[in-house]
Structure 1
Amino acid sequence: MSTWKVQHLDKPLCTVSFIITKNETYNGCNNRMHQDIGTKWVTLTLENITVSDEGNYTCEVVNEGGTLTGTIILEVLAKPFALITLTGSRSAECRAVGGHPATTVWWNSALLNEVSDTTSIEKNKTSTVISTYTPVEDNETEATCTVHHPAFPSPLILTIKIPAAAGMKNMWWVLIPVVVIIVITVIILLLWQISGLRTFSANKRGNTSEPQENPTVIVEDVEPYASFTQKVNTIYNSTSELSEAKMKDLTTDYGIQKIRF
């Protein structure tokens, strides 16, 4: 006699058995299960397997020599369908639908307060994970989510563009006129500087002239004799009173001659 004892994760124990001596089969689980008996082996086959078939499967074989028991754990992988979309003005949503076990989703360069996750269980026991990313920084224009699942040979990477924030758009309208004004101002200053250099060069060439060979020096006509005589008279009057006769004697004795300047 061979018996399969099936313990599903969310159902009570059921059995599928076959009595060789009587050639009788009993199936207390479902019609998608049936066992095949060979001379040296017993096989349980499951058709159209679903997530609900997960559980512990124990094979028990009994004969005249005794009882042989073996257990195997059945895990079912359901490959999810993943996509990324925009929701709201600046929110990106990464959705993994129909995965089993539940899919793991994370965002590149995201903070904890920028991500919110929800997981729901479908009727077929698969899971749908929805992860929403709302960037805090206004300058972020791209979002990338990575989906991990055992059914994927490698993580799935999805990227989407995020519209610029309203503040950033308004800032461009302010920055563009400012940049234009600065450029025009720089051009005007450069043109003014170039024009000033040309004017300076032209004036320099126009003022060039040969120096005069014999410049005329104007010397004011003064009367040094009068000044000298006045000075002498001042000294003369302040020192002593000399008579004209004595002055003549001095002139005669010492050979002093009057000099006119």
Structure 2
Amino acid sequence: MPCTWRTSDLQLLLILTVFLVPECINTGVEGPVIVSNSTQQMGNYSLASCMDDKQNDSKLLPEVNISLHVLVGTKAVLSCPEILLDNVLVTTWEIILRHKPLSIKAYRSDLNETTEVNSTDKRITWAFRPDQNPALLIYPVALTHDGYYRCQMATPNGNFHRGYNLQVLVAPEVTLFRRENGTTECKAVAGKPAAEIFWIPEGNCVPHKKNWDNDTETVWSTCYWEDSNVSTVFCFVSHQTGNKSLSVELSEGASKPQNIRMLCIILSVFIILVIMGSIWLLKISGCRKCKLKKTEGTPAEEDEMQPYASYTEKKNPLYDTTNRVKTSHVLQSEVDGTGLHAFYVTGL
């Protein structure tokens, strides 16, 4: 429960003096009458009312405390006791947050004035006009708004109180997955308050927990099942913001990493083969083009040389006959000179 600070008491006393002394002077009372309600639990002051008649003493009515849970990032509206506002002299909100001094917001109806002490958080304001509805608005709700809020309303008939124990909730992020070593992990990350984890069926589980600086907590549970007949497991996460349930297949979870590895290996081999085949086809097509160019150049040269070669290699009958006639005349002349005419005739 929150504690009382002397500085805050002096500030509250100053507010009461400024608000109530003029009222008491106007009504002819000898001095301000302040009724103090210093309890050990709350350590706060209740406002006093100045009465026209000393016989009418201020009454401290029973205080109502409400536990309020609000999700972070949402809007919270805290209302005062439901009484007739025409009878309310002063309305005061006391705000006690952790690791922060007492904060006060007050409204005096007869002067239509508001005052604030240590009220630096702009997310905490009056929800409406204080003279119409003195409710308190917190928007957006943050983790630092955990604390105690109390509305005090001073009337001629007594002081009315309503307090709120405000707790800010944060929904955890839930995950469930199977590790390669065969264990299964269920995790609830950054919840406020801490979540609770249950398994169906129950296995050999080890719980873990980690606290963060922003008052959130991460819990997780690592389990394994010795029974080979267990094929599906369920993880239940219980939290004030809502319950969640996840499931995982143990058999599929165990074979999935191996299947992924095999698929990656097959794809890698296939890609390598495709690349090598493409390179080989490019080389073959390049060699064929070179050979075609060479074969196309050789016949042209042979065709250019062929007429001359055929002319020289082929025998000309006319040329041969002329040679023979010349040869026969030469031989005849020689025979005539030597007397070998008979041999020549015989040779013809």
Partners of 1:107 and 1:38 lie apart in 2 by 51
Once residues 87 and 25 of structure 1 are traced to their aligned partners in structure 2, the CA distance between those partners, rounded to angstroms, is 59
CA contact (8 A) 2:153 2:159 kept: yes
Task: State the distance in 1 between where 2:229 and 2:182 align.
Answer: 11
Residue pair 2:207, 2:221 contacting (<8 A) in 1 also: yes
Normalised by the size of structure 1, how large is the TM-score? Answer: 0.53
Structure 1 partner of 2:328: none
Q: Report the equivalent of 2:216.
A: 126
Deviation at 1:27, TM superposition (A): 4.6
Cα distance change of structure 1 residues 73 and 138 upon mapping to structure 2, 3 Å threshold: same
Secondary structure, in 3 states, of the residue corresponding to 1:38? coil
User: What is aligned with 2:248?
Assistant: 160
Could you say what secondary structure the match of 1:107 adopts?
Answer: strand
Q: Give the aligned residue type for 1:109.
A: P
Q: Unaligned regions of 5+ residues in structure 1, if any?
A: 167-261
Q: Residue 96 of structure 2 aligns to which amino acid in structure 1?
A: Q
CA distance in 2, matches of 1:122, 1:158: 25
The structure whose Rg is larger is 1
Report how far residue 38 of structure 1 moved: 3.4
Preserved contact between residue 180 and residue 254 of structure 2 (Cα < 8 Å):
no
- What's the % identity of the aligned pairs? 20
How high is the TM-score relative to the length of structure 2?
0.41
| Equivalence for 1:109 | 201
Which digits, 9 at most, give the CA deviation of each residue in 1:204-252, with x for residues without a partner? xxxxxxxxxxxxxxxxxxxxxxxxxxxxxxxxxxxxxxxxxxxxxxxxx
C-alpha displacement of 1:78: 1.9
Question: How far 1:52 moved relative to its partner?
Answer: 2.8
For residues 190-215 of structure 1, what are the alpha-carbon distances to aligned partners after superposition, in whole Å with 9 as ceiling and x for unaligned? xxxxxxxxxxxxxxxxxxxxxxxxxx
SS of the residue corresponding to residue 146 of structure 1 reads: strand
Match of 1:192 in 2: none
Q: Contact 1:5 / 1:13 at 8 angstroms: preserved in 2?
A: no
Cα 1:5–1:90 shift into 2, 3 Å: same
Normalized per residue, which structure has more strand? Answer: 1
After superposition, the Cα gap between the structure-2 partners of 1:120 and 1:93, relative to the gap in structure 1 and judged at 3 Å, is same
1:178-189 aligned within 5 A:
none
1:31 Cα offset (Å)? 2.0
Find out whether 1:6 has 2:95 as its counterpart. Answer: yes
Task: Note if contact 1:138-1:165 (Cα within 8 Å) is conserved in structure 2.
Answer: no
Q: Which amino acid counterpart does residue 105 of structure 2 have in structure 1? A: S
Aligned-residue CA RMSD in angstroms? 2.7
Unaligned stretches of 5+ residues in structure 2: 1-89, 256-348
Which of the pair is proportionally richer in helix? 2
Paired letter, 1:62: A
Instruction: Provide the residue aligned with 2:143 in structure 1.
Output: 51
**2: distance between equivalents of 1:65 and 1:165?**
73
Partner of 1:182: none
Q: Deviations over 1:133-168 (max 9, x none)?
A: 12233443432211112222xx322111225889xx
Partner secondary structure for residue 140 of structure 2: coil
Measure the CA separation in 1 of the matches of 2:181 and 2:232: 13
Whether 1:93 aligns to 2:185 is yes
> Superposed, which structure 2 residues align to 1:1-261 within 5 Å?
1-8=90-97, 10-20=98-108, 21=111, 23-29=113-119, 30-35=121-126, 36-39=128-131, 41-62=133-154, 66-111=158-203, 114-152=204-242, 155-163=243-251
The one-letter code of the counterpart of 2:143 is V
The answer to whether the 8 A contact 1:92-1:132 is kept is yes
CA–CA distance in structure 2, aligned partners of residues 165 and 59 of structure 1: 59
